[in-house]
Amino acid sequence: MRLHLHKKLLAIAVILLLLTIGTVAGQEGNAPGEPFVPQLRINQRSLGDQAFAITAGLYIPLFTVLLEDWDGTNYTKGATPPHLYPGGAGAITYSVYLSPNWKLGLQLNGSFSQDINGNFAYTIPITVKASYEFHPWSRVTIPIFIGTGIAMTSWKDDNFLVDFILKPGVGVYFDWSYEWSFGLDFSYLFIPQAGLGGARESSIGNFLEITLTAEYHF
């Protein structure tokens, strides 16, 4: 069962990746064989500009908030350690500029971590991400962003959940050239989970991502 769930998650991720790449490659106005047309100015965006980003870094479980006491266990209402070790995270994001400062995109995220018993937990969030970008210096951009959507989680043999996710964050980016920006993001993840036992086993997971990003503008 565990292998079947992991294959299902991988299939969903691959399909979304292909759809994202297909969307970028099919943009109007691009010459055949040249889907990416670089922007010709540094740190200046305008309506219709696009970006494609690849992200990788750390996934840090912080704590879990239990909404009720869990009967028959030592888990009590309130904050409790997550019982997960830090792991890794990655993402691909396709975005379109709605103005020089506002950017809206679709992000496919993925993360993994291991619990104290050696079991791996895999999470694939799919979010709509809105960003507001400040440009304090000629080559520096500071985005403040928030993403919302769903998070698919697989853990142990037969635990597969689909939950709501809220992902605010902030970053700092440097424009290396007209096309490429490189940055550091700090993202906070809220994942409310409805337990199999109902409200008495529901919780809110709190996680932190610290990631490096390479972003291509076109």
119-178: pLDDT as tens digits: 888 999 999 999 999 988 888 999 999 999 999 988 776 677 788 999 999 999 999 988
Residue 35 falls in which region: left (phi positive, over 0), alpha (psi -120 to 50) or beta: alpha
What is the predicted pLDDT for the residue at 77? 67
User: What is the distance between the alpha carbons of residues 82 and 207, in angstroms, rounded to a whole number?
Assistant: 9
CA dihedral 78, 79, 82, 83 (to 10 degrees): -70
Domains by residue range for the chain, with CATH: 2-24+49-135+143-217 (2.40.160.20)
What is the predicted pLDDT for the residue at 57? 96
The number of beta carbons lying within 10 Å of the beta carbon of residue 175 is 23
Give 59's pLDDT tier (boundaries 50, 70, 90). very high
Which residues, in sequence order, are bridge partners of residue 159? 155
Check residues 83 and 49 and name the one with the higher pLDDT: 49
Where is 102: in which H helix or E strand?
strand 102-114
Q: Which residues of 89-101 are buried (b: 16+ CB within 10 A; e: fewer)?
A: bbbbbbbebeeee
pLDDT at 18 over 90: no
The burial class, CB within 10 Å (0-12 / 13-18 / 19+), for 110 is buried
Check residues 173 and 32 and name the one with the higher pLDDT: 173
Q: What is the mean pLDDT of residues 71-97?
A: 81
HSE of 197, CA atoms in CB hemisphere, 13 A = 12
Which residues, in sequence order, are bridge partners of residue 137? 140
Least confident stretch, 57-61, 159-163, 208-212:
159-163
Strands 87-97 and 50-66: antiparallel
What is the predicted pLDDT for the residue at 212? 97
pTM: 0.73
Q: For 169-205, what is each residue's pLDDT tens digit?
A: 999 999 998 889 999 999 999 988 765 555 555 778 8
Measured CA distances, 170 to 40, 72, 207 (Å): 26, 41, 15
Place of tokens 């490189």: 182
Range among 7-16, 82-91, 153-162, 196-205 rated most confident: 82-91
